[in-house]
Amino acid sequence: MGLSNAKVEPAVPVSDLARAREFYEDKLGLSGGREIGDGGITYPCGAGREIHIYPSPANAGKSGGTIAAWEVEDLEKTVDELTANGVSFEQVDGDRIKTNEKGIAELGEDRMAWFKDPDGNVFGMAQL
């Protein structure tokens, strides 16, 4: 028993579902979402994974940390495509993490980039 073999999906609180749909569909390119009984939408992603957005204005954008990340084959290409769609990538200049002008951080052999949705929920992308 336990959860080690159970499928898990991020559930993201948003303040305005229509605005969120526009971002997730038009800017991130998610499609094929299905409406769920909580008033939200679940979008299929790669490898059988999904991401769920749901209306919860009191909780939207409150996490402060990365709440979900996509693993992509070509991070720079994906950053360029999303930037062209109007997504802004975070600039980080910390002791451990520094991003370049595109918002890509080199973490040893791994590369990462972060962006926020309209509510300020933080998402990552990784090329591992």
Asked whether residue 25 is domain-assigned, the answer is: yes
Asked whether residue 121 is domain-assigned, the answer is: yes
Please tell me the distance from the alpha carbon of residue 74 to that of residue 66, in angstroms, as a whole number.
20
pTM of the predicted model, to two decimals? Answer: 0.93
Q: Are 62 and 116 in contact (CB under 8 A)?
A: no
Asked whether residue 3 is domain-assigned, the answer is: no
* CATH code for the domain of 108: 3.10.180.10
Asked whether residue 42 is domain-assigned, the answer is: yes
Asked whether residue 4 is domain-assigned, the answer is: no
pLDDT given at position 128: 77
pLDDT by 10s per residue, the chain, length 128: 689 988 899 999 999 999 999 999 999 999 999 999 999 999 999 999 999 999 999 999 999 899 999 999 999 999 999 999 999 999 999 999 999 999 999 999 999 999 999 999 999 999 97
Question: Which residue range(s) make up the domain with 85?
Answer: 11-127
Asked whether residue 2 is domain-assigned, the answer is: no
Question: Pairing mode, if any, of strands 41-44 and 104-107?
Answer: unpaired
**Total number of domains in the chain:** 1
Own/partner contacts of 42-50, CB < 8 Å, gap of 24 or more, are 42/9, 45/70, 46/70, 46/71, 48/7, 49/7, 49/9, 50/9
pLDDT given at position 2: 85
Asked whether residue 109 is domain-assigned, the answer is: yes
| Cα distances (Å, whole numbers) of residue 57 to 22, 32, 54, 68, 88 | 17, 24, 9, 19, 22
Asked whether residue 72 is domain-assigned, the answer is: yes
